[in-house]
């Protein structure tokens, strides 16, 4: 098993694209990259701890490759917006890929460079590629939020602008 860690705005919205894929063992919402030990959601959402909201995915690379995870990741984000994602604004919601191995770093950089060269976006790709840092699981009520609170999740996702962006920017992929 390997780990993959992705920041793409609200972590609630970053769970569902990955959860039904073969070889995905678990997806945990949490925080990484900051300077406060064991941060809370209330602390992270202020944008002062340096943490990103992330999902940490445990996966079997023989069933679902890291490169395939990267393909799914890009489709969930606006890689040209480093001020947050969709309605979620602030550095805690900025897009980033946290690599756990040198092979992941190389694959992430290649996928970013391929996306930039594709011409899909007129603005530069600003998604950071950073070494994995200490991961702190988010509070229990954030885990599988879409299952525990489906109405709230669907309403929040609908007004976020994420799906509208995905439908336009990635129409042939979704």
Tokens standing for residue 22? 């073969």
**Which pLDDT score is estimated for 174?**
59
Query: Is 55 in contact with 29 (CB distance < 8 Å)?
Result: yes
Instruction: Supply the pTM of this predicted model.
Output: 0.95
**Which pLDDT score is estimated for 75?**
95
Q: Which domains does the chain have, with CATH numbers?
A: 2-169 (3.30.1060.10)
**Which pLDDT score is estimated for 172?**
77
State what percent of residues in the chain have pLDDT above 70.
99
Distance CA 16, CA 58 (A): 14
Distance CA 135, CA 86 (A): 24
What tens digit of pLDDT does each residue of 30-54 get? 999 999 999 999 999 999 999 999 9
Tokens standing for residue 63? 């069933």
CA 113 to mean position of chain CA atoms: 18
- String of b and e for 4-13 (b: at least 16 CB within 10 Å)? bbbbbbbbbb
| Among 4, 7, 10, 166, the one annotated catalytic | 10
Per-residue pLDDT band at 118 (split at 50, 70, 90): very high
Task: Based on the residue annotation, tell me whether 10 is a catalytic residue of this protein.
Answer: yes
What tens digit of pLDDT does each residue of 131-155 get? 999 999 999 999 999 999 999 999 9
State what percent of residues in the chain have pLDDT above 90.
97
Distance CA 66, CA 44 (A): 27
């Amino acid at each position: 098993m390997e780990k993959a860690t992705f920041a793409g705005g609200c972590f609630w919205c970053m769970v569902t694209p990955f959860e039904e894929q073969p070889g995905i063992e678990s997806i945990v919402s949490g925080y990484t990259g900051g300077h406060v030990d064991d941060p809370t959601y209330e602390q992270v959402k202020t944008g002062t701890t340096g943490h990103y909201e992330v999902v940490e995915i445990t996966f079997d690379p023989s069933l679902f490759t890291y490169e395939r995870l990267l393909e799914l990741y890009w489709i969930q984000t606006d890689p040209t917006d480093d001020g947050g994602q969709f309605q979620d604004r602030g550095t805690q919601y900025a897009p980033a890929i946290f690599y756990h191995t040198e092979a992941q770093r190389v694959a992430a950089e290649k996928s970013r460079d391929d996306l930039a060269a594709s011409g899909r976006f007129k603005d530069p790709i600003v998604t950071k590629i950073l070494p994995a840092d200490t991961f702190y699981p988010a509070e229990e009520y954030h885990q599988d939020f879409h299952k525990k609170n489906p109405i709230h999740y669907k309403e929040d996702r609908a007004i976020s602008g994420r799906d509208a962006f995905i439908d336009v920017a990635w129409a042939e992929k979704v």
